[in-house]
Amino acid sequence: MIELFPSKLLLGPMAGVTDYAFRRLLREMGLEYGVSEMISAKGLCYGNDKTADYARAHSSDHPLALQLFGSDPQFMLRAALYLEKHYIYEVLDINMGCPVKKVVRNGDGSALMKDIKLAMEIVSKLVENTSKPVSVKFRSGISEDSKNCVAFAKAMEKAGASMVVVHGRTANQMYSGRANWDDIGRVKDALQIPVVGSGDITSLEEGLDKIKHYGVDAIMIARALRGNPFLVRDYKKYFTEGTQPETVSLEERFSTMRTHLKYLIEEMGEANGTASFRKHGLWYMRDFPGSAKLRDRLSHLQNAQELDVILSSVVDR
């Protein structure tokens, strides 16, 4: 059983973005269900330390799904058993949706949607031989004329998956066009296990609309959280207190940026943490009027003191 919490919002995993530090921050905003960046099963089995780092989580970062990718059932099982032994998490998620070339050329990620039998073998092996519930994240299909998300979802359910997450784009679309929520709705109608929908949700209103119209058990948000972790709080507050979103003050935006950088530095050290923060800094200030110069300074940020200087120059202006 996978428990979906009141806010009906799952964090959409983003490699290079939803790392240890960002998830820690999102938990403070009220995130109830986190998902790690994707973790290579082979990388784990070969003892790659950098790969194993993706499985680490702050003590507040639970319930958490660790997401594995790979297509060799034996490696997947070994990797899952390794995770069980060394890390704390609640759900094992399998990535069968990644469309990136270097992943699919090995038969991993969305390439598994072409081989339902192998995908089922992976899921049933993990369900039978490990102790955590298994979820599967995939897309509408590979291409517009070979959409197979309903058949694929049913196969995952049959193989023992406890939940599926469907991103309503085909692998060939990558991130272009719009997510097709009718595909997600069809999967929901065909399954008994919880179905989570992913794609293009940027506000509380849009998420509520999708839950209502497509009957999904929860929604997942990825890109819209970049520079806007406050959206998580909108969901939490709506579902627990019935309140509508409030505008985020500049002071809060800035203090959140400082905290985000602090967590990154704690995790990665000053140089790497600051380098990793630069993109987030730009996302936080994306809609700030007349901020070209500010964004330029953020994109060259060197340390936490400099962030203080940059942000106080905005307040003083």
Ligand X SMILES: Cc1cc2nc3c(=O)[nH]c(=O)nc-3n(C[C@H](O)[C@H](O)[C@H](O)COP(=O)(O)O)c2cc1C
For the annotated catalytic residues, the residue numbers are 98
Residues 161-190, one symbol each (x = binds ligand X by CB under 6 A, - = not), give ------x-------x---------------
Q: How far is the CB of 116 from ligand X (least distance, A)?
A: 18
Q: Which is nearer to ligand X, 13 or 273 (CB)?
A: 13
Q: How far is the CB of 250 from ligand X (least distance, A)?
A: 25
Among 4, 5, 17, 279, binds ligand X (CB under 6 A): 17
Q: Is 4 in the site for ligand X (CB under 6 A)?
A: no
Measure the CA–CA gap between 222 and 202, rounded to whole angstroms. Answer: 9
Please state whether beta strands 134-141 and 91-96 pair in parallel, antiparallel, or not at all (unpaired).
parallel
Q: How far is the CB of 113 from ligand X (least distance, A)?
A: 13
How would DSSP label each residue in the chain?
--PPPTT-EEEPP-TTTS-HHHHHHHHHTT---EEEEEEEHHHHHTT-HHHHHTT---TT--SEEEEEE-S-HHHHHHHHHHHHHH---SEEEEEE----HHHHTTT-GGGGGG-HHHHHHHHHHHHHHSSS-EEEEEEEESSGGGB-HHHHHHHHHHHT-SEEEEEEEETTTTT-S---HHHHHHHHHH-SS-EEEESS--SHHHHHHHHHHH--SEEEE-GGGTT-THHHHHHHHHHHH-PPP-PPPHHHHHHHHHHHHHHHHHHH-HHHHHHHHHHHHHHHTTT-TT-HHHHHHHTT--SHHHHHHHHHHHHH-
Q: Is 37 in the site for ligand X (CB under 6 A)?
A: yes
Q: Is 206 left (phi over 0), alpha (psi -120 to 50) or beta?
A: alpha
Q: Which is nearer to ligand X, 165 or 310 (CB)?
A: 165
Q: Is 67 in the site for ligand X (CB under 6 A)?
A: yes
Q: Is 95 in the site for ligand X (CB under 6 A)?
A: yes
Q: Is 223 in the site for ligand X (CB under 6 A)?
A: yes
Among 8, 12, 61, 79, binds ligand X (CB under 6 A): 12
What six digits make up the tokens of 222?
């990825």
Q: How far is the CB of 219 from ligand X (least distance, A)?
A: 9
Q: Is 14 in the site for ligand X (CB under 6 A)?
A: yes
Q: Is 280 in the site for ligand X (CB under 6 A)?
A: no
Stretch that binds ligand X, among 14-22, 118-126, 184-192, 259-267 (CB under 6 A): 14-22
What six digits make up the tokens of 214?
């497509």
**Residue pointed to by tokens 């970049």:** 226
Q: Is 229 in the site for ligand X (CB under 6 A)?
A: no
Q: How far is the CB of 100 from ligand X (least distance, A)?
A: 8
What sign does the dihedral 54-3-162-128 (CA atoms) show? positive
Among 21, 25, 31, 38, binds ligand X (CB under 6 A): 38
Among 222, 231, 232, 310, binds ligand X (CB under 6 A): 222
Q: Is 8 in the site for ligand X (CB under 6 A)?
A: no
Q: Using CB under 6 A, count the residues that bind ligand X.
A: 22
Q: How far is the CB of 221 from ligand X (least distance, A)?
A: 5
Stretch that binds ligand X, among 90-98, 140-148, 180-188, 262-270 (CB under 6 A): 90-98
Q: Is 198 in the site for ligand X (CB under 6 A)?
A: yes
| Residues engaged in binding ligand X (CB under 6 A) | 12-15, 17, 37-38, 67, 95, 97-98, 137, 167, 175, 198-201, 221-224
